[in-house]
Structure 1
Amino acid sequence: MRVSAFAMMCALAGCATTPPTPEEAAQICEKRAQAAQAPTGGVTVGVNSETGLSTGIEIGLSADLLRGRDPLEVYESCVIDLTGQPPIRPARLRAL
């Protein structure tokens, strides 16, 4: 009984996920395609009076990059996976 009551409350509250709009899918998939172009990352350097110097480095490698997948292919297949339809516009990828 508890499980069905929870399921009903969740359904009434709108817990079901809705698919992204075509434009939202394009934005999500552009980020994934950009990650397939080259490694991502950043460097941080900071200083404060209590702990002194702090540094950090972050490097990201996507599975698509490691597999050598074409970023445009990544974009197109991602949009189709999210929306069930082909992209509404071409990918806007950064130049390398």
Structure 2
Amino acid sequence: MAFARALALTFLPLALGLAACGPVPVEQAERSCLRDAELAQRPRGEVAIGVGSGPGGTRTAGRVTLEVGSDYLAGRDPAKVFDRCVLNRSGQPPARGLYEQPGWRG
């Protein structure tokens, strides 16, 4: 009996956490799925270079960040990636297609 109660108390937070991952409203899913569609269209990245001087002399620093989505590597259509993402997150198809979304930079 004590084991069953301990087991239930262990898995209760996990079950509650998974319940919080349920479907979201379509509008919210559309906003968050724009990023997936952008990564399916092209890689994203940045290059930063800095030069400064101080008591120790001149300093240089650099950073390169590159993010490539698996949908881009597979050659998937960004509009289809968007549709699938919205459906997965909300349980419903998008109200507006990718190319009608505010903020889409096609």
Shorter-chain TM-score above 0.5: yes
- Superposed CA deviations along residues 64-93 of structure 1, whole A, max 9, x for unmatched, are 000000000000011111111110222232
Task: Return the offset for 1:62.
Answer: 0.5
RMSD between aligned alpha carbons?
2.2
Q: Which ranges in structure 2 are unaligned for 5 or more consecutive residues?
A: none
Distance in 2, Cα, partners of 1:53 & 1:29: 37
Distance in 1, Cα, partners of 2:7 & 2:48: 47
Equivalenced residue count is 93
AA of the residue aligned to 1:19? P
- Give the TM-score of the pair, scaled to structure 1: 0.80
AA of the residue aligned to 2:82? Y
Distance in 2, Cα, partners of 1:22 & 1:3: 36
Task: Return the offset for 1:47.
Answer: 3.8
Q: How does 1:25-40 map to 2 (within 5 A)?
A: 25-40=29-44
1:81 alignment partner in structure 2:
88
Give me the identity figure in percent.
Answer: 32
1:44 aligned onto 2:44: no
Distance in 2, Cα, partners of 1:3 & 1:47: 57
Aligned to 1:73, what secondary structure does the other structure show?
Answer: helix
Q: Which ranges in structure 1 are unaligned for 5 or more consecutive residues?
A: none
Distance in 2, Cα, partners of 1:7 & 1:62: 33
AA of the residue aligned to 2:37? A
Larger Rg: 2
CA contact (8 A) 2:23 2:91 kept: no
1:72 alignment partner in structure 2:
79
- Give the TM-score of the pair, scaled to structure 2: 0.73
Shift in alpha-carbon separation, 1:46–1:3, aligned structure 2, 3 A: farther
